[in-house]
Structure 1
Amino acid sequence: MSHFAFYENVTACEECDFINPIPPLKSGERFRCQHCGHVLISVHRQVAARIMAAGLSSLLMLALAMSFPFLGFSTNGIERTVTLFHTLSVLLSQGHLVLGSIISLALFVFPLVYLFSILFLVWSFQHKPILNFAQRYCVRWVVVIQPWLMVDVFLVGILVALVKMNSLADISFELSFWAFCGYVILLLKTESLVDKRWLWNKVAGKADDQSVVTGTAKEQGVIGCHFCGATLAAHKRHCNRCGHSVYSRRPKSLSSTAALLVASLLIYIPANVFPIMETTFLGNTEPSTIMGGVLLLWSLGSYPVALIILLASVVIPLAKVLSLSWLCWQCHFPSKRLTEQKIKLYRITEFVGRWSMIDVFVVAILTSMVQMGNFMSILPGTAVLSFTAMVVLTMLAAMTFDPRLLWDKDEARTVSVSERREE
């Protein structure tokens, strides 16, 4: 098995700022930070061919998912089928432009931009000469969009919506639903094959190695680029390889995170007070809040779905706010708790953030399926936009938080304790 030597010799971990010498890597191997265990590089066997195959297949599955009926719906002799595109068109036709825009971004715009960008990059690596600036823009799009891909969350939202409707109507899975499942699996596979350091090495070559030894980049007067993994001299303001802004620590990280958390808490109040969905049945309209929907599902015996909604829409958003608030506090007043545990909490908080969008997707799906006038119809409530904004703000708060600050305080506390012992 051959070694891969296209990576630079050293890189700085984006979570702890520790300088890591990169050994020769074999296909199938992962290289983790020697200090905090964060995965820095993933090397895949025949990665270009596999990305091309998975990416093209996911586009084919999306085309099939758009071409045929998606779900079937029947109640009291009334039958109808909906397509995937119908989910978007119903929201836009009824004036829910913001919610429709969110669905279009999650289902079509972001995934398509991501797939076309990565496919173009892989193709361009084998067909030179090619415009290098186009490659650079595509890598930037791939890195920036990846955290906002939510097709898997949308698929879970579909299943939750169908469980909600199971007591009111008969639901059938049509051909496009299975194609959409294939699209989700293949898109996730494409994501798992993409490594940003590999992309930048292919687009811009190896970074100039700095003369460093084991320790943090800040201690040695160098800066690690978050965007491509290069190490640069401390006086640099932009990366020589990718052109992205570089900084030893994210500017105004704690104040930005705190501001976003306060805003998310404030907007979470109307998200719970006002109805997130309005259901009309036989001319009677009944609004439903987030907790109201959870209690209704529980009373109907749908305990697993009720717990999913409770976790995704109530527990996780509040837990994210509390976790990030505590981490910000630890950056000012660190406790004796191990920093490794704080970093694990940060990673979990960052990972689960997008799953709070399940309830928003559930409302969008039910709205597209159930439109039968006064007999039965479902419309989004005023709380949908507030809840969506809350999810986005907490995701941005996690992105603006700089976990390296936790290690800085940990090192400062360790030095202080050692000095007191010497005295």
Structure 2
Amino acid sequence: MTAAGRALIACPQCDTLYFEPEIREEQTASCLRCGRVLAAPRTNAYLRTLSLSLTAVILMIGAVFFPFIELEAAGLRNRTSVLDAILAFSSGLMLPLSLAVALLIVLIPLTRLAAIVYTIYPLARRRRPFAHAATAFRLAEGLRPWSMAEIFIFGVSVALVKVAGLASVSFGPAFWAFAGLVVVMVLQDNSMCRYTIWKSLEQERA
């Protein structure tokens, strides 16, 4: 805290320090040095973030268990899901690859979404945060760089372009669920004002 009792916040991009801004809904506070958005509270932001997070969880579950792609070549047809792909490499020397796919594509994104829902749900209903909500949100922010569901779908798309010349490829519902998941997660990240969430958690804790 400063001598005047105002807190300091740091830009997450360039670490420039600012006095805590007094900002209203639909206004945006940006860093003067690099232009990074520091705070952007929006009307019904909690409810919007909660809805998008729950949508992402549903899409993730469908993307894991439903058929992802179907390949047909020389009269042979094979259909597989993300879960089947993970289990296919779950033995021998390929076990680390299986664990990496399960963690980065499924478990970490789901854990992050669950932590966000745990944090946002009481705030959206204008209630006191759940116990350890700050820890859960800190976990969600820490897992953010490791949530790679969107990278997976881009990588698969590139691979399928090459496979399409060798076999007939058709997309299953899980592929479209993953594609929708990428869009929903981008919208969720853009709608979530982290400054506002931390501010609400700190006020309740105080």
TM-score range, shorter chain: 0.7 to 0.9
User: In the aligned structure 1, how far is the partner of 2:138 from the partner of 2:144?
Assistant: 10
CA drift of 1:45 comes to 2.6
- Contact 1:16 / 1:35 at 8 angstroms: preserved in 2? no
User: In the aligned structure 2, how far is the partner of 1:94 from the partner of 1:172?
Assistant: 30
Q: What SS does structure 2 have at the residue aligned with 1:26?
A: coil
Could you give the per-residue CA deviations for residues 279-337 of structure 1, whole angstroms, max 9, x where no partner exists?
A: xxxxxxxxxxxxxxxxxxxxxxxxxxxxxxxxxxxxxxxxxxxxxxxxxxxxxxxxxxx
- Contact 1:61 / 1:183 at 8 angstroms: preserved in 2? yes
Q: Which has the higher contact order (CA 8 A, sep 6+)?
A: 2
Return closer, same or farther for 1:178/1:142 CA change in 2, 3 Å cut-off.
same
Could you give the per-residue CA deviations for residues 184-241 of structure 1, whole angstroms, max 9, x where no partner exists?
A: 211222222223222211111299xxxxxxxxxxxxxxxxxxxxxxxxxxxxxxxxx8
**1:93 match:** 91
User: In the aligned structure 2, how far is the partner of 1:40 from the partner of 1:79?
Assistant: 51
Instruction: Please show how residues 208-287 of structure 1 align to structure 2 within 5 Å.
Output: none
Q: Does 1:110 align with 2:133?
A: no
Could you give the per-residue CA deviations for residues 365-408 of structure 1, whole angstroms, max 9, x where no partner exists?
A: xxxxxxxxxxxxxxxxxxxxxxxxxxxxxxxxxxxxxxxxxxxx
Pairing partner for 1:159 from 145, 157, 160:
157
- Contact 1:33 / 1:40 at 8 angstroms: preserved in 2? yes
Pairing partner for 1:123 from 121, 124, 145:
121
Q: What SS does structure 2 have at the residue aligned with 1:63?
A: helix
Pairing partner for 1:38 from 19, 36, 39:
36
User: In the aligned structure 2, how far is the partner of 1:59 from the partner of 1:53?
Assistant: 10
User: In the aligned structure 1, how far is the partner of 2:180 from the partner of 2:90?
Assistant: 27
Counterpart amino acid of 1:85?
L
Q: Does 1:22 align with 2:16?
A: no
Counterpart amino acid of 1:107?
I
- Contact 2:119 / 2:134 at 8 angstroms: preserved in 1? no
**1:81 match:** 79
- Structure 1's unaligned 5+ residue stretches are 1-7, 208-240, 242-423
- Contact 2:9 / 2:20 at 8 angstroms: preserved in 1? yes
Return closer, same or farther for 1:51/1:21 CA change in 2, 3 Å cut-off.
closer
TM-score normalised by the chain length of structure 2: 0.85
Pairing partner for 1:64 from 55, 62, 65:
62
Return closer, same or farther for 1:16/1:117 CA change in 2, 3 Å cut-off.
closer
For this pair of structures, how many residues does the alignment match? 199
User: In the aligned structure 2, how far is the partner of 1:165 from the partner of 1:73?
Assistant: 9
**1:301 match:** none
TM-score normalised by the chain length of structure 1: 0.44
CA drift of 1:179 comes to 1.6
CA drift of 1:23 comes to 3.8
User: Identical aligned pairs, as a percentage?
Assistant: 22
**1:177 match:** 175
User: In the aligned structure 2, how far is the partner of 1:54 from the partner of 1:45?
Assistant: 15
User: In the aligned structure 2, how far is the partner of 1:163 from the partner of 1:66?
Assistant: 22
- Aligned-residue Cα RMSD (Å) equals 2.3
Counterpart amino acid of 1:110?
I
- Contact 1:9 / 1:23 at 8 angstroms: preserved in 2? no
Return closer, same or farther for 1:32/1:206 CA change in 2, 3 Å cut-off.
farther
User: In the aligned structure 2, how far is the partner of 1:21 from the partner of 1:194?
Assistant: 18
Return closer, same or farther for 1:145/1:179 CA change in 2, 3 Å cut-off.
same
Return closer, same or farther for 1:23/1:129 CA change in 2, 3 Å cut-off.
closer
Counterpart amino acid of 1:37?
G
- Contact 1:62 / 1:183 at 8 angstroms: preserved in 2? yes
CA drift of 1:128 comes to 4.4
Q: What SS does structure 1 have at the residue aligned with 2:9?
A: strand
User: In the aligned structure 2, how far is the partner of 1:68 from the partner of 1:144?
Assistant: 29
User: In the aligned structure 2, how far is the partner of 1:32 from the partner of 1:206?
Assistant: 25
Counterpart amino acid of 2:81?
T
Q: What SS does structure 1 have at the residue aligned with 2:90?
A: helix
Q: Which runs of 4+ in 1 moved over 6 A?
A: none
Q: What SS does structure 1 have at the residue aligned with 2:70?
A: strand
Return closer, same or farther for 1:192/1:129 CA change in 2, 3 Å cut-off.
closer
- Rg larger in structure: 1
Return closer, same or farther for 1:10/1:166 CA change in 2, 3 Å cut-off.
same
